[in-house]
Structure 1
Amino acid sequence: MHVIVIGGGIAGLAAAHRLLRDGAAVTLLEASPRLGGKLYAGDIAGAAAVDLGAEAMLARRPEGVDLARAVGLGDALEPPATAGASIWTRGALRPMPRGHVMGVPADPAALGGVVSPDGLARIAEDETLPRTEVGEDVAVGAYVAERLGREVVDRLVEPLLGGVYAGDAYRLSMRAAVPQLYEAARAERSLLAGVRALQERQAAAGAAASGPVFMGIDGGIGRLPPATADACRAAGGDLRTGTSVRELRRARSGEAGTWHVGTDAGGGAGETFAADAVILAVPAPAAARLLAAEAPAASAELAAVEYASMALVTLAFRRADLDGTPPGSGFLVPPVDGRTIKASTFSANKWAWSGAQDPELFVLRTSVGRYGEEEQLRRDDGELVAASRHDLEAALGLSAKPVDALVSRWDDGLPQYPVGHLDRVARVRRDLAALPGMAVCGAAYDGVGIPACIASAWRAAEATLARGAEAGAGQ
């Protein structure tokens, strides 16, 4: 069975790896000059390794850790050296409250300082309010605001969701973005009671003692794509970069295979590949374009998926120039506070490998850009660096000049999951089920995190192999 995987981000690579493991022949086609998508490692200040995209993966889901181990990076897996995050709000850095589910607390008293006394009194009303029905789906921000008041959303839920989706909590689907909270809301009249019950179940199941929540890789998460690519090539996979797909069509009578994939390479006409199956591991707009002729309904659904853009500003300081280094792993910034940056990660503190590679350097990064705030990203790189430094000085008193700065822009980097997103995904998959040997995977479908993207890829690969086996048995 020959499968063409279109897209060389972590989802495409994970799909190729699973297909090759189970005996399929694989050709992977990536339009850009490199593999890995938003998992990308570089260096700063001459030699210090840094992640210029995603820097961590959820460890409570096994897929990311399992793939890292499968491609030889098991010994490089590393939990954060510190988890002491803060929220920069109301003019001060305040410890991140404990015992919450995406900002919704089990104990409102933990939010003191982040939420005002009036806000705490509003939260307490949740215990006496009548049930708020969630139905088939509801916006996270709208539901939490109705139960607990807007302060919880604006000061906690928004910055936490913004760090994952760069999205607007008042638009994001609770069922898609925070399924645990959705189930808690359905189970109890009181949202606080639902969160407490959820945490009690997790504790009883041993989830609280099952290891670190997040995991990184020594040298950066950006090492995962090239390691996966190397494993794919060692298994016989044909991985091509700089090869864009211009046409995807079903084979006509008398032609080889089930699908024909026409490509452009190096700015000129490329090859046309015949394949038994195709997995689309590209962003929704690209998938919509490729599916327009063969699956117009799915194409229209995918064309409607919106994306948020963001930028990461990585700064390297000489420790000797700092008046002490900031403690903890970093901080989040609520949009309501009107700052440019939405978060800062102290990489040198958070990752032991980062702090150890050049003891004279202190590396941190900021992130800029949320859904609906694209005007921030129209600034040039120098302006984004200056804006980040301005906010860092206000938050930390950090006035030193960096010895190096890098700006990584991720235009349309994060798909948005508005209310009804899961129903959209179901319609896409239902439409594509009618096409032999066609599957989709990636961040646009089942979650934007690394483990979710890998799980989506494995699902697509396994479905493709199963359909191929069924077709072979019927011949």
Structure 2
Amino acid sequence: MKPPIPRQTLRSHHLTSKTFARSFWGRKGDEPVESLIPQIAEEWHRGVEQHPDLHRIPPKSVAILGAGVTGLTTAYQLSHFSPETSITVLESSPRTGGWIQSLKIPTSKGSIIFETGPRTLRPWTVNGIITLNLISHLNLQSQILQIPKTSPAAKNRYIYFNKQLNELPSSLSGIFNALRLPVLKGAATSVLTEIFRRKRAKDVEDESVESFLTRRLGANLTNNLASAVFHGIYAGDIANLSADALLHTVYRNERVYGSITRGMLGVQEMVLEDKLLEGVYGSRTAPLLNQLRKASIYSFKGGMETLTRRMEEAVTEECDVTIKTGVTVDGLRYNKEKNEVEVLGYDSPANSFDFVISTLPAWKTANLLPPNTSNSLYETQGVTVMVVNLFYDQPNMTGYSGFGYLIPKSVPLEQNPHRALGVIFDSDAMPEQDERKGTKVTVMLGGHWWDNATSLPSQEDGIRMAREVLNQHLGITAEPTETMASLQMDCIPQYGVGHAGRLRQIHEDLMDKMGGRLVLAGSSYGGVGLNDCVRSARDAAFGVAAGRPMTNLERWAFEEVWIPKDMP
């Protein structure tokens, strides 16, 4: 494997936000770019055709590989950024939506909804605001179900440790009581002494989450608390996951300020590009943000698939987009003379495109490319999770009120023999979604624990295992009324140590060998959450609409510009 290319040595294939701000307005190089934010945000987002380096040359045709949430969002956004572009979405499965699937189960006492993938969203991040802007455009405001910040689902979250559920603190007063819990043993000392610990060596560009947090906060907090949180988000092992990729801000703060604590106490900063996007979309989404001002999380009345179904309807009926399901793409070939990418296996006279946007997982995209085009794509792999949905007629069977609990890697095998990652109390998390009253839970099994498994459980085995988890942890022995198990193969990409360096290498490889005509988007690169995928799709669509060579990895390939968060 080639060593990662340092950011500062890459050839500049794009204009950074800082360079753009200074050059477009003709400001002096030493003038603070922060003062330009209110003025440039909307113009920057529109592509500012007045600037010669940013002149838009709309592509005639674009193919999008994959019709999951990233592919559908890319198609929708591109059709609005560049309405003159012909867009074709190619999906190998018979349905759209990808991992998002909300199954409505009719029963004699009313329907219930089982989610096999993402089930809730958070509104209060830059990427979350971009998702809300999309929801607003799709006119889905009336379909939103929100959970207020004061609800048990927002306030109560648990960690299973030492054969009990440990309630994490949700307020300052709750911290002092929580410090007595086994899962937070030694937490106070670890946090108070973090500021005095030596920062990492300057030549260390990345390390594992486990290594980083153990250095800063000690082994107990890392293994008992942090590993559980990463089980819930990534289903991954913190010993292998990248600190720079997944804890980017605090990892940077250690380098810049010497510790996590100093970074939190100092000037709160964010990336300039994120600040610009927050300004643009925050203004455009103000009514919906106001509607959700008291919300902690939200979903939709018909489940998360409400979003992807509405997007499919919008792109096919309102935009110049063609969606073809059941299409197996065999390969991608760059024609340097025509500056086009040919999609092999797509049986159509017009199978060459100005751009191809792949929203497939990194390893699947790698399989479509000629040998040695970008081997670094293969190094991001996914973990498999079994999602088991269970519904019981009796309400409040868990004995707890809250969002659910996660299980750290430090829990011994005899206390977690089926390698569960966590349990979601769906009845509390989204109580208004079901017509039928009762207790609904989701048990997540596997993840990195199954990396070397020679066989995977059947659906029947998964339901049995989930019931045994609930029996062992919560004492639930009753027979569930409705059950469903789904095995999600390679569903969550794992960002291993050196992830950012690999993205830089991939960017350089694709610019060289695919002419900047193959663009990447999706959960393999900049975040595995639904909000992250929507942001990735927006970035890909915005860049492709301008018609300039790109990979959509530019934000990792080049130096970031950080500014104070509270800058107007």
Calculate the TM-score normalised by the size of structure 2: 0.72
Residue 219 of structure 2 aligns with which residue?
150
Alignment of 1:40-59 (within 5 A): 40-44=101-105, 46=107, 47-59=111-123
Q: 1:372 to 1:394 in 2, by over 3 A?
A: closer
Compare 46-55 and 127-136 and name the one that shifted more: 127-136
Compare 365-374 and 72-81 and name the one that shifted more: 72-81
Confirm or deny that 1:312 pairs with 2:387: yes
Out of 199, 221, 230, the residue aligned to residue 161 of structure 1 is 230
1: CA distance between counterparts of 2:313 and 2:397?
44
| Matched pairs, number | 448
Residue 426 of structure 2 aligns with which residue?
347
Confirm or deny that 1:237 pairs with 2:321: yes
Residue 28 of structure 2 aligns with which residue?
none
- Structure 2: stretches of 5+ with no match in the other structure: 1-59, 271-277, 279-288, 551-568
Partner SS for 1:79: strand
Partner SS for 2:465: helix
Q: 1:199 to 1:36 in 2, by over 3 A?
A: same
Partner SS for 2:383: strand
Alignment of 1:396-415 (within 5 A): 396-415=474-493
Residue 183 of structure 2 aligns with which residue?
115
1: CA distance between counterparts of 2:447 and 2:529?
17
**Shift of residue 35, structure 1, vs aligned partner:** 0.8
**Shift of residue 274, structure 1, vs aligned partner:** 2.7
Residue 10 of structure 1 aligns with which residue?
69
Question: In the TM superposition, what whole-angstrom CA distance separates every residue of 1:51-107 from its partner, at most 9, and x where no partner exists?
Answer: 11111223123122222222221222233352122111111112123479xxxxx97
Percent identity for Structure 1 against Structure 2: 23
Residue 170 of structure 1 aligns with which residue?
239
Confirm or deny that 1:186 pairs with 2:255: yes
1: CA distance between counterparts of 2:454 and 2:422?
14
Q: 1:27 to 1:153 in 2, by over 3 A?
A: same
Residue 473 of structure 1 aligns with which residue?
none
Question: In the TM superposition, what whole-angstrom CA distance separates every residue of 1:367-426 from its partner, at most 9, and x where no partner exists?
Answer: 011224343971222222122112212222211110121111111111111121012112
**Shift of residue 11, structure 1, vs aligned partner:** 0.9
**Shift of residue 342, structure 1, vs aligned partner:** 1.3
2: CA distance between counterparts of 1:196 and 1:215?
31
Confirm or deny that 1:86 pairs with 2:158: yes
2: CA distance between counterparts of 1:385 and 1:433?
47
2: CA distance between counterparts of 1:107 and 1:327?
19
The AA in structure 2 aligned to 1:126 is: E
Q: 1:385 to 1:467 in 2, by over 3 A?
A: same
Q: 1:281 to 1:117 in 2, by over 3 A?
A: closer
Confirm or deny that 1:297 pairs with 2:338: no
Out of 207, 212, 217, the residue aligned to residue 300 of structure 2 is 217
**Shift of residue 4, structure 1, vs aligned partner:** 0.7
Compare 231-240 and 117-126 and name the one that shifted more: 117-126
The AA in structure 2 aligned to 1:331 is: Y
Question: In the TM superposition, what whole-angstrom CA distance separates every residue of 1:308-356 from its partner, at most 9, and x where no partner exists?
Answer: 1111100011127x757642121111122131321111111111332x4
Out of 447, 453, 458, the residue aligned to residue 380 of structure 1 is 458
Residue 138 of structure 2 aligns with which residue?
71
Out of 253, 258, 261, the residue aligned to residue 340 of structure 2 is 258
Residue 410 of structure 2 aligns with which residue?
336
Question: In the TM superposition, what whole-angstrom CA distance separates every residue of 1:240-278 from its partner, at most 9, and x where no partner exists?
Answer: 11111113223476x7x82222335xxxx6666232221
Partner SS for 1:58: coil
1: CA distance between counterparts of 2:465 and 2:70?
33
Q: Is the 8 A contact 2:178 2:184 kept in 1?
A: no
Q: Is the 8 A contact 2:70 2:536 kept in 1?
A: yes
Q: Is the 8 A contact 1:45 1:316 kept in 2?
A: no
Confirm or deny that 1:27 pairs with 2:27: no
Out of 224, 227, 234, the residue aligned to residue 310 of structure 2 is 227
Confirm or deny that 1:455 pairs with 2:522: no
**Shift of residue 45, structure 1, vs aligned partner:** 5.9
Residue 103 of structure 1 aligns with which residue?
none
2: CA distance between counterparts of 1:423 and 1:343?
31
Question: In the TM superposition, what whole-angstrom CA distance separates every residue of 1:176-200 from its partner, at most 9, and x where no partner exists?
Answer: 1122321332344443444455889
RMSD: 3.1
Partner SS for 1:38: coil
Residue 393 of structure 1 aligns with which residue?
471
Q: 1:172 to 1:252 in 2, by over 3 A?
A: closer
2: CA distance between counterparts of 1:2 and 1:415?
29
Question: In the TM superposition, what whole-angstrom CA distance separates every residue of 1:283-309 from its partner, at most 9, and x where no partner exists?
Answer: 11211012225xx332x1111212111
The AA in structure 1 aligned to 2:194 is: D
Q: Is the 8 A contact 1:307 1:413 kept in 2?
A: yes
**Shift of residue 161, structure 1, vs aligned partner:** 1.2
Structure with greater strand percent: 1
Q: Is the 8 A contact 1:124 1:148 kept in 2?
A: no
